[in-house]
Structure formats: structure tokens, C-alpha cells
Amino acid sequence: MSSQRLMSWALRGYVVVFFAYLFLPLLVMAAATFNDSRFPTVTPWDGTTLRWFGELAADGGMWQALANSLIVAAGVLVVAVPIGIATALFLNTVSSRAKPFLYALILSPLLTPGVIIGISTLIFWRQWGVSGGILLTVLGQATFIAAYVMLMVTARLQRFDRTMERAALDLGASQWQMFRRILLPYLRPAILSAAVIAFLQSFENYNTTLFVVGYDTTLTVYIASKVRTGLTPAVNALGLILILVTVLLAIAYEVKRRREARVPGV
Amino acid sequence: MFRQLKARFGGPLAAAILALLGIWLIVMVTLPQLQMIDYSLRPNLLPAQLGGPEDRWTLTNYVTLFNNEIHRAIFFKTLWSSVLVTLLTLAVSYPLAYYLAKLASPRQAALCLLLLIIPFWINEILRTYSWFIILAFRGPLNEVLMMLGLIERPIRFLSGDAGVMVGMVYAYILFMVFPIYNAIESLDDNQVRAARDLGAGTLRTHRRIIIPHAKPGIATGCIMTFMLAAGSYAVPALLGSPGSRWFTQIIYNWFFEGGNWNQGAAYAFLLLILCIGFMSLVMKVFKVGLGDIAK
Amino acid sequence: MDASVELDRVVMRFGDFTAIEETSLAIASGEFFSFLGPSGCGKTTLLNIVSGFLTPSAGAVRIGGEAMAGVSVNRRPTAMIFQNLALFPLMTVFENIEFGLEVRGVDRKTRRATSERLLALVALEGSGPKRVTELSGGQKQRVAIARALAVEPRVLLLDEPLSALDLKLRQHMRVELKAIQRKTGITFIYITHDQGEALNMSDRVAVMSAGRIQQVADPMTLYRSPQTGFVAAFVGENNRLEAKVIDRQGERVRLDGGALGELSGRATAPTPLANGAAAALYVRPEHLRPVAPGQGLEATIEALHFEGAWVMLETRLAASGEKLRVQLGHELSRQHLEALRPGQNAHFGFDPEDAVVLPDDGGPALDEATGEVVEAGHV
């Protein structure tokens, strides 16, 4: 028994080390924001400053990239969420001998490296005269994000009791009314979560975007180019802000989830 | 298929569902991939030569990799390093996934999962950038090591493969932890207790009960991590160059510096084959199907 | 308003499997009609054909004289109460009840008035704003009834609606369902595998087995005069004794019971019983009573189950070794009961009026685990 306890404590220690490993880099990055040094570092500490926030705010390129990222994310939502929902409904409804093949095809964007999705999208649209830019970025990202939406909607759809559908029809609803009033409200939480995930996936995407973004710049592309060329702690300031927004979002999400968990039965 | 959809959703909705699915699978997934393969099989020609006698299928672009020793070396390095990253990530993730699924109280597990997700809502670039700062020549890691007297001179972490691999393990850990956590969590506690009760030690319990049950999760995690590592551009670009180049960087150069898309498409297709090959191997070794992966 | 339901030579096939063999049946307007049978007998399939969820492979369904072919589920004058109720969990009680009216475009005020009236009918006044997830099992049941009634169906279809409730509530809801049926005058078609429910509430019952209706009759007739071996075994409990026909005079049939000697009972089936033909005599445990030694059938008591109001004896016939179950009620004195002990021999007799003679069908198929009747015999 005591060896088991030892293992258990060793594991606990490991978990602590693990989370330190997970967060230490972010803390270092955040701390470097306040270092009054030309380079982003914490060693040596050249004095505390807030001037990198000011420099960040004055950087027009950053604001343009942020705007582009938001436009792309919105576009991805518009394209990927309906596709993801439709695919989930399709998989939940249809039984056919072609289904395993279709299922593999539907999952394939998740298992394909992002760079390849970017490359194939870029090549395919060239023949139609569409070159890299915001439009292609939306299409490229939506290609695999739709599959994530599909997975999340499917997870909830599988728990749907289809007698509800029959009951609605039996009470005189048309199939559209059934979809609108019964199925869609049931799927709503999953669709909202999927939309949040889709937004984040789009916002943080780099590998696919890199190939299809053309001369436009999204925030991640902007950050990457800053890191590689004009390295300044202003990037850290941006990182810190993104971390804070993320943490706030995560807390809000958790609070909402706990509140919903208290509503019984649904 | 339309008949089944129509029976459930009515004609217009069924048509919309099939249309969305069709556009996605045909226009966004299949045709671009086929086009990429087609590109990879044609020589890089001037616009005037397109459709001419030289515009026909050839394996020239694939032969390039075979003949170019540097590219070939980078291709295999990418393969081995990605396998190594996958194994390292697995080793780091498994104990955590097990702890979260079986030892932590529900409250602790929920908190840990939330903490896990936070770094992954921040993009890969920033995650990698934070390691860039830590591993810098005059960065905190070198400072700490020197202060402790473990080294006398700072180490150039950022020019070899080690930095890239550390960054990748960090960047993709979540994609390993979550599938394994989900798989272990679905294991009935009583099975573990029964194994213990029958005298199995900790290691044997893991080897005979928990790991076999977690197989689909482990397979999923490995496939995802390998795919992300082999297909990563950000991490090697930030933490590796110029001393350690990744295959994706060569692909990128063909497209945007060499201006030879056909050559780039061939390399991209080889990368895709590499990932598919790894996936098939893992699925065979772990005896899992596609259905087990998407959970 | 004519709320009759007519099945005209309806057949239902799924691939090679025939779920419903050719069936014709007329259910009168305002009747409480039940389909009774073990699971898999086809009763739910029949209900789905009436409601429109399934289209029969052949034959026609008419409601109120109108053919229902081509009329989709949402246009039929029927409403269904589902086994799991299928209340909409994201809606309030009001919204659930008003759903059928809402999709028909009825205005809010009329809808609310209707739902208030129906909530009163099912004794749930004031529960309208609640979420259905807050309700108890019995309350949910009532909401489901109110929701179905809101669309003013001519026929209410009930698919084992009480099976999820506990015994007490189930018995209470039987009374209420019957009362609601009387108040509304709607035709009720009720599906159940619980004979207590079917016999208790129905005007008429159709007993089904293996896709075929075995007998349609009022509950008393089903009990007194089963026309097939399946009905005899499935409705209530019956002892089955194999014998040969000696002769028949009107209803009364004399049988040669082999080692058991001469037996006699009442013929109920229209099928002829030729002299010398194999037959089965069915006598219910509750129709057997102790008789003096030398009369009736001698049997050895193997087990005794005390149930309070009655005692069930498991015995074995001395002459043939067949099993015989005997139910003795309050008419027996305490001394008499105490004399019945496992291992002892006793004699049991019955009134031939209470025994039913049917052609031998080889006996019904039984569930191996529970011993319950699952399908009619085929010989």
C-alpha cells in the first residue's frame, strides 16, 4: 500500500511541475513586457516600464492585422458553422454503404497538416483568378474548422431523442417547424460552443493562413513577422493582452457552464 | 441519401444540407487536393508554355527530392524528429491524463482542464515565442544555469533541433492530453480496483488494464501530434533557424522564394503521404479504426 | 363527428419479414380499444400505421370514413402519447401543450385559453409556467395527455404510456384515462402488453401474436371464452391438459384425457372439433377447487405460495405427471388451508362450464427465462 501512496504523491508532484512548465513561459513572456530593454528578455532587468504598451497602441500595422483577423474569423463562422451543422445532420440521418468513405473524407481535413490545406487551397483558386488574401484565408481555415464544428454538433446530436421529432410531427408541425422549434433549440448550446471554438481556431491559426494570406496580414502572421524581423517587447505587450483576454474568456465560459449545470434535466 | 434526409427534414432543408456538404467536400476538400497532386506532376512552365507539348505529367518534381541530398536529409530529419516529439509528448502527457481522469477530484480535474486549455487559446506563435525568450543566448535559462554553476558559458539553444523539439512538445501537448484523458476517463474504476485486488502492481495495472483501454486515445493523440509536428512551420521558423530547417520551410521556399509551385506541390504531397503513412501505421499497431479517432 | 378507425386488409412487410399479416378491423367512434400482446407482436407497428409514421405495404386505413393514404403524419386527425412521453424539455408546460396550436398558427390568446382548460381537465391548474423537467412522473403523464388533446384529435393513440410509472400511480392513471376518454368522447387506441390495463379500461381488446390478431372481443369474453390457445394462455392464467375429443353436443365437449379419464368442457372456437381429434382443455387455476377423494383429479402438492388474499398451489397430477396450478381463495376455511402442505395429495375438480376446449395447437411458445407466453403455437 505504501508504494502506491508514494506513486500517488510522485504523480501529484509531477502535476505541479507540469503546470509550472505550462505557465512559466507565459509568465516570462508577460514579465518581459515591463522590462525597459530594447530586446524582449527578463535578464538583465533594465528597469520597469509601460512604454511598450504605448508603442503597441501606436502601431498601425498591428491594428490593421487585428481588424483582418476579426474579419477572417467572422467569415469562417459564416462558412464553417452551417457546413458543420449540415454535416452533423447528414451523418446522424443517413445510413448508406458509402458512409464509411464519406466519413473518412469528412474527417480528413482534421488529419491533414494545416500547411497542406493552405497550399491546396492556394493552388486550386489560382485557376479561377483568386489569389492569396482575406477571402482565401477564410476558405482555407473553414475547410478544417468545419470538421471541428461537425464533431461538436454530432456529440450533442447523438444524445437527441428522436421521439421528440415524431411527437412534433404528430402534433401537426411541418418538418421545417420541427427543425426550427425542436431540433435547433436542442443543438443551440453545442452550436454556440462550436462557434466559440471556431472563432478561436481561426484567430490563432498560422500554418494554413501563412500560405493563403497573400499580401494581407492577420494578427498571427503579424506577430510572426515581428518576432522574426523587428523584435521588440511590444510583441510581449500584445501577447500579455491576448493572455488576459483569454483568461477572462475562460473564466466567463466556466462560470456560464457551472450556472447551466445547475439547471436540472436539460 | 437524399431520400433519407428528405424523410426527416423535408425537401428544402435536405437540399440545403446536401448542398453545404457537397460544396465543402468537393470544392473545399477534394478538388484542391487533386489539383495539388496534378500540379506536383507537371513541370514548372512559363504561362506561354501552358497547354503546350511540355505540359504533361512527369515525376520530375519527385525526383528532385531524391537527388537533392540536403532536402532528403531534412525530410528524414523531419520524420525522425516528429516521431521523437510524439513519443516525448506521450511520455509527458500520459501521467497527467491519468491523474486528471482517475486520481483528481471532479473539482480539481475541472480546474486543471481549464488551466490546460488557457495556454492553447493563445496562439502557437506566442507559445513558441515565449520559449524563444527563455532559450535566448542571453535569456533566463542560460542565466539560471550559470548562476547555479552548471555551465560556464551560455549555450546556443536556438540553433539546434533540441530547441525546436522542446517548443513542439510544449505547443502540442494538449492534443495528446485530451484524447488520452477522455479515453482513460471512460474506464470503469472498478476494473482498476479489481486488478489491484487481484494483486497487480501499479505498472502491471497500467500495462494490462489502463493502457489497453486508452489505446484509441493514445492513437489519436499520437496521430494528431505527429501531424502537427511534421506540418509545423511556426516552431522551427522561430526556434530553429537557420541551423535547423524543417521540411515545411523548404515547401514554403519553393512557393514564395523559389517561385516553383509545382515543385512545392510535390513536396507538400510527400509531406501528406508521410502523415498518412504514420497514421496508417499507428492505426494498425493500435488496431483502431477511424471511428475511434474522432471522439 | 365520426371518429371511427378502419383497417382494411392492412399488411406490413419490412423486406422479407412480415410484421403485420393481412388484418381488417373496425374500431367504432368513441370506443376505448386496446391492442394487447407481447413485445414484438406487431401492435406498435399497427399504431404507427394508424398515426402515419409507417405506410402499410398493402391495404388501407380510414379514419372517420376518409382514406388516409397520402395523408402525412402532421395532417392526420390523430395524436399520439409516446411511451417515453417525448415532452419537449426546453419548453414550459404551457409551451408544450400549445405547441400543436402554435404550429397551426392559432393566436396566443386562444392558445392560452385552450391550455388552461386542458390543464384543468388533467388536474394540473397553475403548473403552466413550470418547466417540464420540474414535474413528477405522473404530472408529466398528464401534460402529455393535455398536449395531445390540445390539437383536438379525433383519435388518441397511446403507446404503453403508463409503463414508466410505478404500480400505484399506474393504477390511478388507469381510472383517470378512462374518465378523460368518457369526458372527451374521443376514440382511444391503446397499446399495451399489460393485460390488467387492457382488461380494466377497454371496451374491446384485440389480442395479437406474431403479426396476427388472435381475437377481438370485450374483456369478459376474452377471459371467459378465448378462441385460441394463445389467448387462453396469455390472458389470465390457464392450465393446459391434452386430450382427445370423444363427442360434442352443442357447446359441451366430452374428452378422453387418457390416464386422467374423462374430462369435459365448453367449445368456444368456431373451428370444428371432430370426434377423435387432438384437443386441449384449458382450466384456470382460480376455477379449480378441492373436492372429496375419489372425485376430480388427484395431484401432489409440490409448492405453496401464500399471497394474502389467495394461495397458489403448484401441484403435479398423479395420473399423468402434468403440472397443475391451483388458486384457492377466501372461500376456504383456515383449517382447510392448513391441511394443504407440500408433499400431500389432494383432489381438485372444476365446473365444465369454466373449462374451455380448443383444437390442439401444440401449445404456445414460452419465454425461456420468465416462462411468459410470447407467441402462439403453430401446429
Q: What is the pLDDT of residues B86-125, one digit of tens each?
A: 999 999 999 888 888 888 888 888 888 888 887 777 778 8
- Decide if B283 is inside a domain: yes
Using CA coordinates, name the residue in chain A closest to C99: A171
Q: Give the architecture-level CATH label for domain C5-224.
A: 3-Layer(aba) Sandwich (3.40)
Degrees to nearest 5, angle at CA B277 with B272 and B283:
125
Instruction: Among A169, A171, A186, select the one facing C147 at the smallest CB separation.
Output: A171
- Smallest Cβ–Cβ distance between A109 and the set B1, B29, B114 belongs to B29
Sign (positive or negative) of CA dihedral C137, C142, C147, C149: positive
Give the count of Cβ contacts less than 8 A between chain A and C. Answer: 67
DSSP-assigned letters across all residues of A158-179:
TT--THHHHHHHHTT--HHHHI
CA distance A159 to chain B (A): 14
Instruction: Decide if pLDDT at A13 tops 60.
Output: yes
- Partners of residue A185 in chain C, C-beta under 8 Å: 90
Map out the domains of chain C as residue ranges: 5-224, 232-284+353-379, 289-349
Judging contact as 3 or more Cβ pairs under 8 Å, the answer for B and C is: no
Fold of C232-284+353-379: OB fold (Dihydrolipoamide Acetyltransferase, E2P) (2.40.50)
* pLDDT for residue A246: 80
CA distance A62 to C234: 80
Give the number of domains in chain B: 1
Following DSSP, what letter does each residue of B218-270 receive, concatenated?
A: HHHHHHHHHHHHHT-SHHHHHHTTTTS--HHHHHHHHHHTS--HHHHHHHHHH
Chains meeting C at 3+ CB pairs closer than 8 A? A
- Render A49-78 in DSSP notation, one character per residue: --HHHHHHHT-HHHHHHHHHHHHHHHHHHH
User: Which residues in C152-294 belong to E strands, given as ranges?
Assistant: 155-159, 187-192, 204-209, 212-217, 239-249, 252-256, 262-267, 278-283, 289-290
Amino acid at B205: T
Chain A residues with CB under 8 Å of B231 CB are 113-116, 207
Could you tell me the pLDDT band of residue C367, with boundaries at 50, 70 and 90?
low
Closest CA to C210 of C8, C379, C16, C375: C375
Shortest distance, CA C337 to any CA of chain A (angstroms):
52
Alpha helices (runs of H) in chain C, residue ranges in sequence order: 43-51, 93-102, 108-121, 137-150, 167-184, 195-201, 219-224, 229-234, 334-339
Contact between C90 and A185 using a beta-carbon 8 Å cutoff:
yes
- Does residue B53 fall inside a structural domain? no
Over range C342-348, report the average pLDDT.
Answer: 85
Cα gap C191→C160, rounded to integer Å? 5
C232-284+353-379 and C289-349 in the same fold: yes
**Residues β-bridged to residue C314:** C303, C325
Taking an 8 Å cut-off on Cβ atoms, the answer to whether A164 and C88 are in contact is yes
B27 in any annotated domain? no
Domains of chain A (ranges; CATH) run 65-239 (1.10.3720.10)
pLDDT band at C297 (very low <50, low <70, confident <90, very high): confident
Q: What is the mean pLDDT of residues C305-322?
A: 84
Q: What is the pLDDT of residues A131-157, one digit of tens each?
A: 888 999 999 999 999 999 999 999 899
Read off the CATH number of the domain in which B188 is found. 1.10.3720.10
Q: What is the pLDDT of residue C368?
A: 56
Which residues face C32 on adjacent strands?
C188
The label of the residue with cell 413550470 reads C130
Q: How confident is the model at residue B293 (pLDDT cuts 50, 70, 90)?
A: low
CA torsion, ordered C176, C177, C183, C184, to nearest 10 deg? 150
Nearest to A160 by CA among A93, A87, A70, A229: A93
Task: Give the dihedral of Cα atoms C79, C85, C87, C92; nearest 10 deg.
Answer: 100
Compare CB distances from A29 to B114, B130, B201 and report the shortest one's residue.
Answer: B130
Q: What is the edge-to-edge ordering of all strands in the sheet holding C32-36? A: C78-81, C155-159, C187-192, C32-36, C204-209, C212-217
Question: Domain residues for B103?
Answer: 68-293
Question: At the fourth CATH level, which superfamily is domain C289-349?
Answer: Nucleic acid-binding proteins (2.40.50.140)
* Spatial separation of the C-alpha atoms in residues B127 and A126, rounded to whole Å: 33
In this complex, is the C-beta atom of B12 within 8 Å of any C-beta atom belonging to chain A?
yes
Pick from B16, B117, B279: CB nearest A111? B279
When scoring A159, A169, A170, A186 by the number of chain C Cβ atoms within 10 A, the one with the most, hence best to mutate, is A170
CB contact under 8 A, A265 and C86: no
Q: Shortest Cα distance from C87 to chain A (angstroms)?
A: 7
pLDDT at C319: 83
> Residue B3 has what pLDDT?
86
Give A155→chain C minimum CA distance, Å: 18
**Do the Cβ atoms of A162 and C84 come closer than 8 Å?**
no
**pLDDT per residue as tens digits for the range C79-106:** 999 988 889 988 999 999 999 999 998 9
Measured at the CA of B214, the angle between CA B211 and CA B220, to 5 degrees, comes to: 125
Q: What is the 3-state secondary structure (H, E, C) of A111-154?
A: HCCHHHHHHHHHHHHHCCCCCCCHHHHHHHHHHHHHHHHHHHHH
Q: What is the pLDDT of residues C5-42, one digit of tens each?
A: 999 999 999 988 989 999 999 999 989 999 998 888 88
Average pLDDT, chain A: 86
> Residue C137's pLDDT is what?
85
Sign, CA dihedral A133-A134-A135-A138, equals: positive
Of A161, A164, A172, the CB nearest to C104: A172
Interface of C with A (CB under 8 A): 51, 53, 72-75, 78-80, 82, 84, 86-90, 99-100, 102-104, 131, 133-134, 147-148, 150-151
Q: Do B32 and A94 touch (CB under 8 A)?
A: no
| Residue C300 neighbours by CB under 8 Å, 6+ apart | C315, C316, C318, C343, C344, C345
Q: Which of B96, B237, B252 sits opposite A228 (nearest CB)?
A: B237
How close, in Å, is residue C86 to chain A by CA atoms? 5
Q: Tens digits of per-residue pLDDT, B164-209?
A: 888 889 888 888 998 899 888 888 877 777 777 777 777 777 777 7
In a domain, B269, yes or no: yes
**pLDDT of res. B84:** 93
In a domain, B25, yes or no: no
B251 chain-A contacts, CB cut-off 8 A: 115, 119
Sort out which chain C residues have CB atoms less than 8 A from A161's CB and list them.
84, 86
Top residue of B3, B75, B105, B121 to mutate, by most chain A CBs within 10 Å, is B121
Interface partners of chain A (CB pairs < 8 Å, 3 or more) are: B, C
Q: Cα A248 from chain centroid?
A: 16
In a domain, B72, yes or no: yes
SS3 C121: helix
Under a CB-based contact definition with an 8 Å cutoff, are residues A117 and A140 in contact?
yes
- Residue B122 within a domain: yes
| pLDDT tens-digit series, residues A236-260 | 888 888 888 888 887 887 787 777 6
Identify which has the larger pLDDT, C301 or A232.
Answer: C301
Instruction: List C266's β-bridge partners, or say none.
Output: C252, C356
